[in-house]
Amino acid sequence: MAMTKPWRNRRVMLTGATGLVGGWVLERLLDAGADPVCLVRDQVPRARASVVGLLARSTVVTGALEQYDLLERTINEYEVEIVIHLAAQTIVSIANRNPISTFESNIRGTWNLLEACRRNDRVLSIVVASSDKAYGEAERLPYDETFPLKGAHPYDVSKSCADLIATAYHRTYGLPVTITRCGNFYGGGDLNWNRIVPGTMRSILLNQRPVVRSDGTLRRDYIYVEDAAIGYMMLAERAAEDRSLHGEAFNFSNEDPKTVLEMVGLMQEATGRGDLSPVVQGHAPNEIPDQFLSSAKARLVLGWQPRYELRDGLARTYRWYQQHLSDVGLLMRTGDSAD
What is the C-alpha to C-alpha distance for residues 287 and 220, in angstroms, rounded to an integer? 11
**What's 82's DSSP letter?**
E
Determine if residue 50 is left, alpha or beta; phi over 0 gives left, psi from -120 to 50 gives alpha, anything else beta: alpha
Establish whether 155 is a catalytic residue: yes
Which one is catalytic: 135, 143, 155, 321? 155
- Which letter does DSSP use for residue 330 in this model? S
What single letter denotes the amino acid at residue 334?
T
Gyration radius (Cα) of the chain, Å = 19
* Catalytic residue IDs: 155
